[in-house]
Chains A and B, each alone.
Chain A
Amino acid sequence: MQPLLSIENLKTVFSTARGEIRAVDGVSVSLASGQTLGVVGESGCGKTMLALSIMRLLPPNGRVAEGSVLFDGIDLLSLPEADMREKRGSDIAMIFQEPMTSLNPVLRVGDQIAEAIRLHQNVPAKEALARSAELLDEVGIPQPQRRVRDYPHQMSGGMRQRVMIAMAMSCHPRLLLADEPTTALDVTIQAQILSLISSLKEKNNMAVILITHDLGVVAEAAQKVAVMYAGKIVETSDVEKLFSNPLHPYTRGLIESRPSGCSATDGNERLKTIPGTVPSLYELPSGCRFSERCNLAENICRQAQPELVEIDKGHFAACFVAERTVRGIHGIRFN
């Protein structure tokens, strides 16, 4: 089956006063319709810049230096800006973390959704407004006919995120990028929004990229996972494999350092920790970017950068040690 989205060796660079940094450094990933890819990583790992590179909405000092983003066979990166505008919001939609700052505070929510509809479809204003109410109903907002006339401040955070989702769904996108969609929300609201996104995905056979820092959210909502660290994907596989058999020491560290609410405790357990902090993109180690924090690091890890290789069927990791222990061979390529 041909994937809907296929990203090849994407490199996104930023020029800053302190020099050029690579926020996304050689990311390759693909995604089929009806699938959710969870992109997980800590702040600064490049997960948001990956999404903005796909949307071609990078800040002015950022640009894609290399690579391709094939959407349904078309390279988005080489499209003229006018055609890209056509794709944004219709074929590809995005929702953000903070629903308050993503909505216009002085426009009624119904008008904002109608605006998105009329931008891409030639329908009269009245019909677009009626369609907004249907969309609000679809995303589970009670009394949609009344709620279309609300301003964003009259709604709760969860309701606003539902409005954002309604707006994203207005033109039946085939790909939805969701950047930390539930981070600002309470846990009971988060559960509702995640289940809404996955039911819309099922219904419309949509592909979803779910960006989050929370492994729990990935486990609940994604089928595929990519773990990012300092601009690179360090491990990717389907969700069950990643949690049952994490191969990369960073992934394992993330899973093990998470306090678990699911098992009884006597109060004396210590959490396993990953020592140190994420390296600055200005001072990256020469070898594996995780080597300085890794308790398995060997000499080779400090000298060469491991590439993402298929270690087990459908399970990729960028780690020399994992590769050797699982396969019993040295698969090292020097750059």
Chain B
Amino acid sequence: MASVLIDIQKLEKKYTLGGGFLQNRPRIVRAVDVIDLQIFEGETLGLVGESGCGKSTLAKLLMRLEEPDGGSVIFKDQDIFSLSPGDLKAYRSRVQMIFQDPYSSLNPRQSAISIIEEPLTIHSISDRKQNREASIRLMTKVGLSSEQAGRYPHEFSGGQRQRIGIARALALQPSLIIADEPVSALDASIQAQILNLLKDLKKDYGLTYLFISHDLNVIRHVSDRIAVMYLGHIVELAGKNDLYREPLHPYTRMLLAAMPSCDLPGKNRDITVRGEAGESDDAGCNFKDRCVYKTDLCKTTKPLLKFYREGGWCACHHAGTI
């Protein structure tokens, strides 16, 4: 078994909404609600969930762009939230991010080459000339040509911009790349190109990915293991083929039933997709209002993530019996 690269322990992040002068009582949103999760070296862990489930907050916590309200993230025997400024800088060179929107994540006033070069300069990797050469190599590696080096982001198409973002993330030779919806802003014919590129790079550089997406088709294609998030919790964690073949959590089943698929035009939906994600619940299961299997137990007790099968975990009182 591969070693653990990142160990997320009881991680928690709450946001307070409203509560200003003359306003109603503040509302607390538990974006990340006590999550335990390990990312193994060399794997692609897919993180899937709908908007507002906390998957981007989790990514921000891992990048230490947000401070947690509890818990820790262990990387190389150290909690990333108690690193010294120097160690934090070193940590950030090990963990890089690829963003969803290739339009807003690149500085429009910087040329492609200087965007890719910037991390090398900031971390003073080597001298100017060598950094420039390394950046050109990266450009060709991600499928851009060196003649395009001096061009600005607006001169590139969406897919090419995403390639620039990927080259920037690779510049410091990180061990973990967090890709937050990296293909959802791209057209269908470009998506496949970028997904193939990410796969090739993983093999060539021995990368580990945390791949965040709402698209179950994409997630299955890229991931080794998949974690399903719902309102701040991980509700199911499984090897990808297990998850699609035999989903344990009712929410996973609903997601799979709702997945548009062109393999079976006009397929019958035997699982009803109903309701909307509300707010997290203090006492019971967060999913109970949308769940057809709910019992009194679900109203009073929060289900915890429990082991069900080799590599398969699920947070549902009735998993395995429904």
Contacts and interface: CB of A to CB of B under 8 A. Distances in A.
Nearest to A218: B262
Q: Which of B257, B262, B264, B269 has the most CB of A within 10 A?
A: B262
Contact of B255 (A188, A254, A259, A269): A188
Interface in A253-290: 253-255, 257-265, 267, 269-275, 277-278
Interface string B242-264: 00110000000011111111111
Contacts of B30: none
A43 B187 contact: yes
B240 A187 contact: no
A213 B245 CA distance: 27
A186 interface: yes
Contacts of A214: 188, 260
Contacts of B266: 219-220, 239-240
A189 to B, nearest CB: 6
Contacts of A274: 189, 192
A243 B262 contact: yes
B221 to A, nearest CB: 3
B276 interface: yes
A255 B189 CA distance: 9
A213 B220 contact: no
Max chain A C-beta neighbours (<10 A), residue from B188, B266, B276 = B188
Contacts of A269: 221
A255 B273 CA distance: 25
Interface of A: 42-43, 156, 158-159, 186-192, 213-220, 239-240, 243, 253-255, 257-265, 267, 269-275, 277-278
Contacts of B224: 267
A156 B255 contact: no
Interface of B: 44, 50-51, 157, 159, 187-193, 195-196, 199, 214-222, 224, 240-241, 244-245, 254-267, 269, 273-274, 276-277
A253 B254 CA distance: 29
Nearest to B223: A267
B217 A42 contact: no
Contact of A254 (B188, B222, B259): B188
Nearest to A182: B260
A-B residue pairs, 10 tightest by C-beta? A216-B260, A259-B221, A257-B192, A191-B258, A186-B50, A271-B192, A42-B187, A261-B217, A219-B262, A274-B189
A257 B261 contact: no
B217 A216 contact: yes
A277 B259 contact: no
Contact of A243 (B159, B257, B265): B265
Grouping DSSP codes into helix (H, G, I), strand (E, B) and loop, the A interface class, with mixed when no group exceeds half, is: loop
A191 B216 CA distance: 14
Nearest to B193: A273
A218 B260 CA distance: 9
A55 to B, nearest CB: 24
Contact of A158 (B157, B191, B214, B276): B276
B265 A240 contact: yes
Nearest to B159: A277
A259 B195 contact: yes
Contacts of A159: 276
| Interface-central residue, B50, B220, B264, by most chain A CB under 10 Å | B220
A219 B192 contact: no
Given A190-B260, A265-B241, A258 B265 contact: no
Contact of A188 (B191, B217, B254, B263): B254
Given A258-B192, A269-B221, A271-B221, A187 B199 contact: no
Nearest to A212: B260
Given A187-B255, A192-B274, A264 B245 contact: yes
B262 A215 contact: yes
A42 B189 CA distance: 8
A156 B187 contact: no
Nearest to A188: B258
A240 B265 CA distance: 7
Interface centre among B214, B244, B266 (most CB of A within 10 A): B266
Given A159-B276, A261-B259, 7 more contacts: A186-B50, A187-B258, A191-B260, A259-B192, A264-B244, A274-B189, A278-B187
Contact of B217 (A243, A253, A259, A278): A259
A80 to B, nearest CB: 39
B85 to A, nearest CB: 38
B160 to A, nearest CB: 8
B276 A189 contact: yes
B218 A213 contact: no
A12 B195 CA distance: 35
B217 A260 contact: yes
Nearest to A140: B274
A192 B273 contact: yes
Contacts of A220: 260-261, 265-267
A255 B217 CA distance: 13
A218 B188 CA distance: 14
Given A264-B245, A277-B159, A219 B260 contact: yes
Contact of A213 (B188, B193, B258): B188
